[in-house]
Amino acid sequence: MRRRRQPVTAATLAQELEVSERTIYRDLSALVAQGAPIQGEAGIGYVLRPGFFLPPLMLTEDETEAVLLGLWYVDQRGDDILNKAAENARAKINSVLSEHMQAVAAAPITIPGPDGKQFPENKVSLGLLRSAIRMRNRLSIEYVDQAGQHSRRVVWPVQIGFMDDARVLACWCELRDAFRFFRTDRILVAELGEPYPARRADLVRNFQASMRERVSSASSVTTGGKDRQS
């Protein structure tokens, strides 16, 4: 409703949110009871009036720039789910900014570079990968590498990385007994399995430590090579 200037019907909201119209009417009644300034009626549509349902968001100009710049980057590199989430987040943020900060947001100082990236098509839905991460499920995947070699792996999914030219799934690989990256467009099949025996928070922490160690090792090798050359 924050994104729309014209009344929106319960049927439209129900279709967008993938719930029943009865659920929409129930939730609208609950929001109005809690003080949300919503006007409208069945068959005509509903609008969210200006008001103080949410307090003004206390962000500095630099903080506002940072948040909105990040959301524009999501537009460029995210999938459909994240793009929609970014659009909704912008609407929510703009609705609770002060008048001055709304003007700042409307004419940002910083903008992302041109998009221009066409990501390879995924054969497995990113929604399935997100579900496995959130639910801490193992994934049984069939993967094809750059050389065209096929392999089957059982992995513990940790995070999805959105790079400039590809998206990758960061995992603990049972076959390699180590953290590995798999390009999502090269995952041919992915099947949900049993929960893996670890806390996701621990897995993320260990993954990040592994990445720091890898970067540190690569930096040491590079520095050593320069020293020998000099």
**What percent of the chain stands above pLDDT 90?**
37
Q: How confident is the model at residue 223 (pLDDT cuts 50, 70, 90)?
A: low
pLDDT of 227 reads 45
Q: What average pLDDT does range 50-79 have in this prediction?
A: 77
Domains of the chain from N-terminus onward: 10-48 (no CATH), 61-106 (no CATH), 126-220 (2.30.30)
Q: Give the alpha-carbon dihedral of 48, 49, 51, 53, to 10 degrees.
A: -20
Tokens 């987040």 label which residue?
89
pLDDT digits (tens, 9 = 90+) for 76-135: 888 888 989 999 888 888 887 878 888 888 888 887 877 656 788 899 999 999 999 999
Angstrom distance (rounded) from CA 68 to CA 66:
6
Token output for 227: 């020293």
Angstrom distance (rounded) from CA 227 to CA 230:
5
Q: φ, ψ for residue 187 (rounded to 5)?
A: -85, 110
- The full 3-state SS of the chain, as one line of letters, equals CCCCCCCECHHHHHHHHCCCHHHHHHHHHHHHHCCCCEEEECCCEEEECCCCCCCCCCCCHHHHHHHHHHHHHHHHHCCHHHHHHHHHHHHHHHHHCCHHHHHHHHCCCCCCCCCCCCCCCCCCCHHHHHHHHHHCEEEEEEEECCCCCEEEEEEEEEEEEECCCCEEEEEEECCCCEEEEEEHHHEEEEEEEEECCCCHHHHHHHHHHHHHHHHHHHHHHHHHHHHHHC
pLDDT digits (tens, 9 = 90+) for 158-208: 999 988 788 999 999 999 999 999 999 999 999 999 999 999 999 999 999
Token output for 178: 């180590």
- Residue 132: exposure state from Cβ atoms within 10 A (0-12, 13-18, ≥19): buried
Q: How far apart are the first and last CA of the chain?
A: 64
Q: Are 171 and 158 in contact (CB under 8 A)?
A: yes
Mean predicted lDDT score pLDDT of the chain = 85
Angstrom distance (rounded) from CA 99 to CA 142:
52
